[in-house]
Amino acid sequence: MTKQRDGFASSLGAFTATVASAVGLGNIWKFPYLAGVNGGAAFVLTYLLAVALVGLPILVAEHAIGRKMRKDAVASYATVVPREGFWVLIGYAGVVAAFLIMAFYSDVAGWVFSYIVKSFMAAFRGTGPLSAQDFAALASGTWEPLIWQIGVVVFVSLIVAAGVSKGIEAATKLTMPILLALLLLCDIRALTLPGAFKGVTFLFAPDFSKLSGTVILSALGLAFFKLSLGMGTMTTYGSYMPESVRLVPNAGRVALADTLVSILAGLAIFPAVFAFGFEPASGPSLLFISIPAVFSKMPFGNFFTVLFFLLSALAATGAMISLIEVPVAWLSGKMKLPRPKAVIITALGIIVLGIPATLSLGPWKEVQLFKMGFFDLFDYIQQNLLLPLGGLAIAIVAGWRLRKSDFLNELAGQEKGKKWYLTLVYIFIKYISPALIVLVFLNGFGVFGK
Ligand code: TRP
């Protein structure tokens, strides 16, 4: 069957679609929360290095493999190296990772969606900004967070099932710039609050005693999570890219744009955290406590708060579409299920895993495995195990199992002449990035001692 595959029409389309997958709750929720928990600047610096030295090369490798294979991720890795079918494990691990990520991501997205309504109501009634107590009541509840979460899963599933994802991704071309503008507005306000400078120091003046094996490992894991790497999403996106896309510059721009959004979010949140006397290590609640407080100090603040959570919800939706697409593509491709069925099964799977994740922040607090509740456990497994190991395997496939000339040809595409950066990126993919992953991984698990 040689059905014409869908694809991105242009280089700009490839760029925006990739950004739409990368930018999401990872930037505005996870990055600040992890930076806060892990002591600030030293973590941020490690994260930036991880993006440049590992994330970027692996993003390029995934795009190149996807474009070479022109198939979904599971099918790509099943056949990428002739007679070495076991690389398909990358694809399967990716399907598992997609479920684990969605289980907690949909909970957080549910908070974001509910904050649109809650901040609207607060604006309408003229009550004060949403507080830490408001957030705690929501996140540790039973029915309220579950209903929002399930609502989000159904909403995203409908988009994917109706095949209008492209429309949403096109819409993000419009909404991303507005989100960026709102973040800038937040930055300006937050940075001019009395006592704000402590937040800047926290974010940019590294105290290296804060670094440990586990902190470095989570910075690496965040780089993978942020760029949607190590589980096939970006391989699938590569398979939609026309030959004309210059993979390395494209990936560079994506990584840069994505990192910029995270830093802007950090600059909105931490100055406010210090100015208002919140706890930087608050954890997952950080975004929800600090942003309403910043906006409350502005004219039309209520209106901006509603808008902020609305745009964040859209960004999260773009990321979730790309996540759900992984199991859906596998179920409808390899397993030959009709697409609507594939979407329903995926959604049910997410809900089944999502319920314990959500309840683990409230009524099921005591239920622990490896000293973690389900929310943290799922996050830990995907971020610190599945994504880095998936990335390592991808680097090994690209650098060691494919013929160098084949891989470099795919990387070059229609780029004429021998571009210096192609060889440089290849050296990273083959040696430096995998070596770094192995080192960080072993160090994170205490192999080199504490
Ligand atoms: N990158 C997205 C974010 O930061 C999340 C995401 C979307 C993702 N697709 C992914 C993470 C695939 C890992 C793998 O919000």
Instruction: State residue 1's pLDDT score.
Output: 37
Domains of the chain (ranges; CATH) run: 11-444 (1.10.4160.10)
Could you give the CA distance from residue 245 to residue 251 in angstroms, rounded to a whole number?
Answer: 10
- 369 phi/psi in degrees, rounded to 5: -130, 130
Contact yes or no for 338/332 (Cβ under 8 A): yes
Query: The tokens 């190991």 sit on which residue?
Result: 389
Tokens of 15: 């760029």
Could you give the CA distance from residue 230 to residue 39 in angstroms, rounded to a whole number?
Answer: 26
- The answer on pLDDT for 2 being more than 80 is no
Q: Residue 209 has what DSSP assignment?
A: G
Q: What pTM did the predictor assign?
A: 0.95
Q: Is the CB of 289 under 6 A from ligand 1?
A: no
Q: Which of 269-278, 390-399, 408-417 has the lowest mean pLDDT?
A: 408-417
Could you give the CA distance from residue 394 to residue 396 in angstroms, rounded to a whole number?
Answer: 5
Instruction: State residue 174's pLDDT score.
Output: 81
Tokens of 145: 């967070």
Tokens of 308: 């902020």
Q: Is the CB of 20 under 6 A from ligand 1?
A: no
Contact yes or no for 105/25 (Cβ under 8 A): yes
Which residue puts its alpha carbon closest to atom 14 of ligand 1?
Answer: 228
Which residue puts its alpha carbon closest to atom 8 of ligand 1?
Answer: 228
Q: Is the CB of 226 under 6 A from ligand 1?
A: yes
Task: Give the mean model confidence (pLDDT) for residues 373-401.
Answer: 97
Mutate to test the pocket of ligand 1, among 226, 237, 324 (most ligand atoms within 8 A of CB): 226
Instruction: State residue 204's pLDDT score.
Output: 97
Q: Which of 94-98, 110-114, 212-216, 291-295 has the lowest mean pLDDT?
A: 291-295
Query: The tokens 């989570």 sit on which residue?
Result: 218
- 375 phi/psi in degrees, rounded to 5: -55, -55
Tokens of 347: 């959604």
Instruction: State residue 316's pLDDT score.
Output: 94
Instruction: State residue 167's pLDDT score.
Output: 67
How far is the centre of ligand 1, averaged over its atoms, from the C-alpha of 224 (Å)?
A: 8
Instruction: State the Cα angle at 11 between 400 and 87, rounded to 5°.
Output: 25
Q: Is the CB of 22 under 6 A from ligand 1?
A: yes
Please, what sign has the CA dihedral across residues 427, 87, 376, 99? positive
Residue 417 zone, left/alpha/beta (φ > 0; ψ -120 to 50; rest): left
Instruction: State residue 5's pLDDT score.
Output: 67
Q: Residue 181 has what DSSP assignment?
A: H
Q: Which of 107-111, 202-206, 262-266, 312-316 has the lowest mean pLDDT?
A: 312-316
- The answer on pLDDT for 444 being more than 70 is yes
Instruction: State residue 92's pLDDT score.
Output: 95
Burial of 333 (0-12, 13-18, 19+ CB in 10 A): middle
For the stretch 217-268, pLDDT in tens is 999 999 999 999 999 999 999 998 999 999 999 999 999 999 999 999 999 9
Average pLDDT, the chain: 92
Task: Give the mean model confidence (pLDDT) for residues 424-446.
Answer: 96
More confident residue, 168 or 190: 190
Instruction: For the beta carbon of residue 185, count every other beta carbon within 10 angstroms.
Output: 17
- The answer on pLDDT for 425 being more than 90 is yes
- The answer on pLDDT for 358 being more than 90 is yes
Which atom of ligand 1 is found nearest the CA of 27?
Answer: 4
For the stretch 87-106, pLDDT in tens is 999 999 999 999 999 999 99
Q: Residue 164 has what DSSP assignment?
A: -
Could you give the CA distance from residue 355 to residue 375 in angstroms, rounded to a whole number?
Answer: 9
Q: Is the CB of 323 under 6 A from ligand 1?
A: yes
Which residue puts its alpha carbon closest to atom 13 of ligand 1?
Answer: 228
For the stretch 9-61, pLDDT in tens is 788 888 988 998 999 999 999 999 999 999 999 999 999 999 999 999 999 99
DSSP letters for 213-234:
HHHHHHHHHHHHHHTT-SSSHH
Contact yes or no for 255/50 (Cβ under 8 A): no
Contact yes or no for 145/362 (Cβ under 8 A): yes
Contact yes or no for 222/26 (Cβ under 8 A): yes
